[in-house]
Amino acid sequence: MSVIAEVKQRLDIVEFVSEYVTMQKAGRNFKGLCPFHSEKHPSFFVFPEQQSWHCFGACGTGGDIFSFIMKKEGIDFGQALRLLAQRGGITLSPLEAPNKAEDEKKERLFQINEAATEYYYHLLSSAKAGEVARSYLARRKVMPETIKEFRLGFSPDAWETIKNYLLGKGYTEKELVEAGLIIEKEEGGSYDRFRNRLLFPICDIQGRVTGFGARVLDDSLPKYINSPQTPIFDKSSNLYGIDKAKSAIRKKNLVIIVEGYMDVLTAHQHGWQNVIGSMGTSLTEKQVEGIKRLTNNITLALDADLAGEEATLRGKAILAYSNAEADVILLPPGKDPDEVIGEEPTLWQKLVEQAMPILDFAFQSVISKVDINKARDKSLAVQKLLPSIYGIKDPVQQSHYLKKLARELKIEESAIRAALRESKAGQKRSQPSKPTEQSRLTRQFVSSHIEERCLALLLQYPELRPLARELSPEHFESTENREVFVKWQHSSDISDLESKLDTSLLEHLYYLVNNKNFPPAIRESEQTRHRDLAQCILRLQEKLSRKLETEKEATLEIEREKGGISAELSKLEEQGINSGQQLQEVFVKKEEKHGFNEGRTHQLG
């Protein structure tokens, strides 16, 4: 049995979730107030038979015990596996377990950063040397409460202040270098990295200080510097203020991403707690992956001078890879979010409400810079925008943007579609490299067996990829299978997939790639493999249909508590729906969204 399966066997989801949510019996299931958003009526259900959960309120999401703790704590699969394994008294294998020495080293660095944060905050709030920084923050209208909440600090204009303080705490010079707080001299010795600067502690989602951003208080350059890359600090994955914003992001189901530290402080001070900082002009894959654990609704507030088409298109490509979308707030020229929020809060509210889809912004940015009377410029615009259009999975949206591009450039739509077909034909599929064999104990095949069989076919036979267009992440209930499927969708081969997966999932990946014993044998002819995959997809759709039926019962339970089905029917009538089967249509539409209906499901039986 794999460690993932063992965790699920040892831990009961009802018992585990009850530690976070007050649950009450609802027929065969349990219900409570959703822990991911505010609500008055329980819309959060746990299903003991399926060992799953689902929110029927604002979240509209669900999953197994892994996805619950990942969403609740804002952690990745590897962290969830370690936490749940420890809870279940399960010892992880070397492949799954973190390196103990490496973990101890990281913990030491977190302690050093915590001690530095406390000292820098003391200097800012109490020391005479911090007066210049206090005056600067007062001019920027940063309130004392905000300074305290974000634990801002000050590094004095001296060469060995933090060094001597931390050495006195028992930390070594080598450790301080590794934490990025001091810099080694070539001729020997060392000195403080941050001097005469306002300090912004940068935390991970759990609130641990990973590094620092630092701003000068005069006209010297560079204006901002950050901690260097360390074992716990990676600028490409950090998001400033994420620890303070995570609850508001979940509650509002929206994140607004700004560029600077001061933008974040001002936003939070004015009630926009769902604002975080990217610490740069371009989003990265790691940042988007972290955000998606909290919400899929992303809005970018870009400085008009920095919202270049290349940065926008790179951001669009990253969002497409991560299966996410975003809107763009285009600020007035020369204005930062911090200025707009502080000076004209009503304008900021309006700009948030009028944010445009990122691809529309890309169109505006690219086309405004070309001469549509020149064939070469038209071709250049198509080359820049076509990859983003190609990445659109919804055929209706893709058609919309193809028509828009043809209209904007005043060329035939057929020419754009021909270019799109060429782009598709030019995509190469690499053959997967053979991963290293990993030993694996015999597994228990329960509901996840069909998911694994489907994934095994797709991983072992790349030519079957086109047949998987009907599949979505929702077809995979087990978090480990869903994680593999999502990363597989955006990988060119097994080696590429390996690099994208958390190391805790590699054993599961190797099992799927190497196992040839799923009945019927998937080593048969190409025709047999096609038939087998088609059957897998039908059974996954059937399984999802049964899940929707269970959810339907839970939804009816919610409606009965709110005043009965008639309450829902009245609501639908107000919306202009006058059929006598309104409620049933709600569920039919939900089922049709997944590409199947009840009749098709009964045929499968």
pLDDT in tens, 516-557: 555 444 446 778 888 888 888 988 988 888 877 777 777 776
Query: Identity (one letter) of the amino acid at 293?
Result: R
Cα(595)–Cα(517) distance, integer angstroms:
30
User: Is the per-residue pLDDT at 445 higher than 70?
Assistant: no
Average pLDDT value for residue range 450-468? 90
Residue pointed to by tokens 């983003």: 388
Cα(561)–Cα(26) distance, integer angstroms:
11
User: Is the per-residue pLDDT at 565 higher than 60?
Assistant: no
Cα(51)–Cα(31) distance, integer angstroms:
13
Residues 357 and 327 sit within 8 Å (Cβ to Cβ) = yes
User: Is the per-residue pLDDT at 441 higher than 60?
Assistant: no
Q: What is the pLDDT of residue 566?
A: 45
Q: What is the pLDDT of residue 434?
A: 36
Minimum mean pLDDT range among 200-209, 387-396, 474-483, 594-603? 594-603
Minimum mean pLDDT range among 62-66, 106-110, 498-502, 552-556? 552-556
Residues 36 and 55 sit within 8 Å (Cβ to Cβ) = yes
Distances (CA, A) of 408 to 171, 328, 411: 62, 20, 8
At 594, is the pLDDT very low, low, confident or very high (cuts 50, 70, 90)? very low
N-term to C-term CA, the chain: 30
List the alpha helices (DSSP H) in 461-525: 479-489, 494-500, 506-514
Minimum mean pLDDT range among 81-85, 387-391, 553-557? 553-557
Cα(449)–Cα(428) distance, integer angstroms:
31
Nearest to 464, CA basis, from 549, 533, 558: 533
Q: How many helices (H) and strands (E) does the chain have?
A: 27, 16
Q: What is the pLDDT of residue 561?
A: 63
In this prediction, what percent of the chain has a pLDDT beyond 70?
80
At 495, is the pLDDT very low, low, confident or very high (cuts 50, 70, 90)? confident
At 372, is the pLDDT very low, low, confident or very high (cuts 50, 70, 90)? confident
Cα(84)–Cα(66) distance, integer angstroms:
8
- Per-residue pLDDT tens for 142-183? 999 999 999 999 999 999 999 999 999 999 999 999 999 999
H or E element that contains 209: strand 209-216
Cα(554)–Cα(210) distance, integer angstroms:
42
- Per-residue pLDDT tens for 327-336? 989 888 888 8
At 605, is the pLDDT very low, low, confident or very high (cuts 50, 70, 90)? very low
Q: What is the pLDDT of residue 577?
A: 41
Q: What is the pLDDT of residue 439?
A: 27
Cα(552)–Cα(540) distance, integer angstroms:
18
Q: Where are the beta strands (DSSP E) in 260-412?
A: 275-277, 297-302, 325-330, 356-357
Residue 502 falls in which region: left (phi positive, over 0), alpha (psi -120 to 50) or beta: beta
Q: In this structure, what is the dihedral angle of CA atoms 274, 276, 281, 285, given to the nearest 10 degrees? A: -90
Residue pointed to by tokens 């509210």: 349
Q: What is the pLDDT of residue 99?
A: 58
At 1, is the pLDDT very low, low, confident or very high (cuts 50, 70, 90)? low
Cα(465)–Cα(558) distance, integer angstroms:
40
User: Is the per-residue pLDDT at 23 higher than 50?
Assistant: yes
Query: Identity (one letter) of the amino acid at 555?
Result: T
Mean pLDDT of the chain: 81
Q: What is the pLDDT of residue 123?
A: 97
Q: Residue 183: is it exposed, middle or buried by C-beta count within 10 angstroms (0-12/13-18/19+)?
A: middle
Strand, helix or coil for residue 20: coil
Q: Specify the DSSP class assigned to residue 11.
A: S
- HSE, CB side, 13 Å, CA atoms: give it for residue 564: 2
Residue 164 falls in which region: left (phi positive, over 0), alpha (psi -120 to 50) or beta: alpha
Q: What is the pLDDT of residue 423?
A: 66
- Give the best-scoring range by mean pLDDT among 86-100, 103-117, 468-482, 590-604: 103-117
User: Is the per-residue pLDDT at 452 higher than 90?
Assistant: no
More confident residue, 560 or 274: 274
Q: What is the pLDDT of residue 518?
A: 54
At 313, is the pLDDT very low, low, confident or very high (cuts 50, 70, 90)? low
Q: What is the pLDDT of residue 97?
A: 52
Structure tokens at 112: 């050093």
Residues 66 and 77 sit within 8 Å (Cβ to Cβ) = yes
Cα(166)–Cα(185) distance, integer angstroms:
18
* DSSP sequence for 107-164: HHHHHHHHHHHHHHHHHHHT-GGGHHHHHHHHHTT--HHHHHHHT-EEE-S-SSHHHH
Q: What is the pLDDT of residue 600?
A: 35
User: Is the per-residue pLDDT at 312 higher than 50?
Assistant: yes
Q: In this structure, what is the dihedral angle of CA atoms 275, 280, 284, 287, given to the nearest 10 degrees? A: -30
Minimum mean pLDDT range among 46-50, 57-61, 127-131, 572-576? 572-576
How far is C-alpha 507 from the geometric centre of its chain's CA atoms? Answer: 23
- Per-residue pLDDT tens for 84-119? 988 888 877 665 555 567 778 899 999 999 999 999
